[in-house]
Amino acid sequence: MEQKRTFNKGTSLHTRKYGQSKTSGPRKGGFGRGHANAGRGGQGKFRRGSHKGPHIDISKFINKTVIMEEAVVFTPDNHFVDFHIEDRLKANIVSKGYSTPTPIQDRVIPHILHGEDVVGIANTGTGKTAAFLIPLINKVLKDPKEKVIIMAPTRELAQQIDAEFKEFSKGFKMFSVCCVGGAPIGRQISELRYHNNFIIGTPGRIKDLVERKCINLSVFKSVVLDEADRMLDMGFINDMRFMMDLMPKPRHTLFFSATLSREIEALIKDFLTNPVMVSVKTQDTAQSVEQDVVHIRPGQEKIEVLHDLLIQPEFKKVLVFGRTKHGVEKLALALTKRGFKAQSIHGDKNQGQRQRALDIFKKNMAQVLVATDVAARGLDIAGVSHVINYDIPETYEDYVHRIGRTGRAGKKGKALTFIG
């Protein structure tokens, strides 16, 4: 067993063969469903029927940034130029500005290149998309007949993976189809008639296309299940089992999750063969995110407090989270009437509307994006200065994913939660 190493205080990296002793396993310090504050019991439990909203210990929302006199910096075992991948893929990696692998990339890529099944336990924002795309693209470069299917829980995450794939595979004459709900299925059916090495999508839409006989899963020998815990939470378990049963054995299976619950362990046993377990976990919330609460006094309007924050110069690019679709849309319209450039994304908007809102926010054409938790998973939006929890999230795990939208790529961020 490889030795556990620590870096950046609160971060652990561990690699082992699945099934080995879990003495230092990935649950330690994590925030899985067995944790007291995971949202399935303990302080993280949502009190249904309560008009006061979810009950999460307020102290969980406060984490002042502490400047350490000395920090242990992670030193990778590899550099991208060291990996046994095609030179033209290395060139695309360099053109994206990548030089040093993140911890998950450093550990996972060699195992995938060797054709081993992998379980990656990692927080959001750790670079896991590149960790599986780079070796899989290299696999297709070596064998153009190879086909890969990637499943993700949300359309936004699937589209983000597809966008990264296109950047890494630029100039390779390698093609993908993004199959997600909320987008015209006719266009996806048309694109599937051509040769595509990668199909990237959500389980529901992929299953629909399989049942329409537009996708033949028996020819896909490589599969990625990204954010498997989220797919489990969203009720995709039967769709996942349906599709995995149609895929050939043996196959190359890569499994990524932020948590390791009993349900996830059961899926690992069912879907993977002698996998390598790679755990890259930080403490529950990012060290780079300063967290605090904003108390709403009796008689004080929340939107007035939000207004006073947004007019401050440091609030340059702000992601505001609300609990309901109606509330998010109402808040975005109210902010627009007050002169703020605001957009919204939620489940009542179609895919085109959601994508346009995201693009406007990403391009800094809007200061504020108001969103339900549909945006909390998988989105990689550069330069978010602040996350504001206008409504308290239902679970502590949702909180962790919300604030993970800021303080990314080595930058500092701030998260504020309205209380009262």
pLDDT (0 to 100) of residue 144: 94
pLDDT band at 131 (very low <50, low <70, confident <90, very high): very high
Domain assignment present for residue 236? The answer is yes
What strands, in cross-sheet order, belong to the sheet with 222-225? 5-7, 11-17, 276-281, 118-122, 252-257, 222-225, 148-151, 198-201, 176-179
Q: Do the Cβ atoms of 129 and 256 come closer than 8 Å? A: no
| Mean pLDDT, residues 221-225 | 96
Give the strand pairing for 118-122 and 148-151: unpaired
pLDDT 10s digits, 14-35 = 555 555 544 333 333 332 333 3
Last residue of a domain, one of 227, 261, 281: 281
pLDDT (0 to 100) of residue 174: 95
Domain count, the chain: 2
pLDDT (0 to 100) of residue 398: 81
pLDDT band at 38 (very low <50, low <70, confident <90, very high): very low
Is it the case that residue 9 has pLDDT exceeding 60?
no
Q: What is the mean pLDDT of the chain?
A: 82
Torsion angle defined by CA atoms of residues 127, 283, 395 and 105, in that order, rounded to the nearest 10 degrees: 10
Q: 187 and 151 in one domain?
A: yes
Give which of 196, 256, 261 is closest to 25, Cα–Cα.
Answer: 261
Q: 221 and 130 in one domain?
A: yes
The enclosing domain of 322 has a CATH number of: 3.40.50.300
Give the strand pairing for 118-122 and 252-257: parallel
Collapse the DSSP code of 214 into the 3-class scheme (helix H, G, I; strand E, B; otherwise coil) and give the result. Answer: coil
Give which of 159, 121, 409, 113 is closest to 286, Cα–Cα.
Answer: 409
- Can you tell me the distance from the alpha carbon of 16 to that of 132, in angstroms, rounded to the nearest whole number? 18
Is it the case that residue 244 has pLDDT exceeding 90?
yes
Domain assignment present for residue 33? The answer is no
Q: 290 and 271 in one domain?
A: no
Furthest-apart CA atoms within the chain: distance in Å: 66
Q: 205 and 85 in one domain?
A: yes
| Mean pLDDT, residues 294-323 | 94
Q: 344 and 249 in one domain?
A: no
Domain assignment present for residue 47? The answer is no
Last residue of a domain, one of 281, 310, 345: 281
Q: 119 and 253 in one domain?
A: yes
DSSP letters along 391-408, please? S--SSHHHHHHHHTTSS-
Q: Which of 95-99, 182-186, 340-344 has the highest mean pLDDT?
A: 340-344
Domain assignment present for residue 119? The answer is yes
| Mean pLDDT, residues 255-283 | 85
- Can you tell me the distance from the alpha carbon of 350 to that of 332, in angstroms, rounded to the nearest whole number? 17
Exposed / middle / buried, residue 24 (Cβ in 10 Å: 0-12, 13-18, 19+): middle
Unique residue bearing structure tokens 């046994």: 84
pLDDT (0 to 100) of residue 407: 81
Q: 415 and 321 in one domain?
A: yes
Q: Phi and psi at residue 178, in whole multiples of 5°?
A: -100, 115
Nearby residues of 415 by Cβ (< 8 Å), 6 or more positions away = 61, 289, 290, 291, 292, 386, 387, 388, 389, 402, 403, 406
Unique residue bearing structure tokens 């910096």: 73
pLDDT (0 to 100) of residue 374: 72
Exposed / middle / buried, residue 21 (Cβ in 10 Å: 0-12, 13-18, 19+): exposed
3-state secondary structure 322-364: CCCHHHHHHHHHHHHHCCCCEEEECCCCCHHHHHHHHHHHHCC
pLDDT 10s digits, 372-407 = 987 656 677 888 999 999 999 888 778 888 888 888
Domain assignment present for residue 136? The answer is yes
- Bond before 298 cis per omega within 30 degrees: no
Strand-pair partners of 291: 63, 415
Domain assignment present for residue 36? The answer is no
Q: 277 and 298 in one domain?
A: no
User: Which domain, by its residues, includes 236?
Assistant: 11-23+76-281
Write down the pTM of the prediction: 0.64
pLDDT (0 to 100) of residue 344: 94
pLDDT band at 287 (very low <50, low <70, confident <90, very high): low
Domain assignment present for residue 130? The answer is yes
pLDDT 10s digits, 159-206 = 999 999 999 999 999 999 999 988 899 999 999 999 999 999 999 999
Last residue of a domain, one of 262, 281, 300: 281
Q: 273 and 291 in one domain?
A: no
Is it the case that residue 263 has pLDDT exceeding 60?
yes
pLDDT 10s digits, 294-307 = 999 888 999 999 99
Unique residue bearing structure tokens 């030179």: 87
Tokens representing residue 277 in the block: 């377990």
Q: 400 and 369 in one domain?
A: yes
Domain assignment present for residue 37? The answer is no
Q: 384 and 350 in one domain?
A: yes
- Can you tell me the distance from the alpha carbon of 68 to that of 8, in angstroms, rounded to the nearest whole number? 10
Q: 166 and 265 in one domain?
A: yes
Strand-pair partners of 15: 278
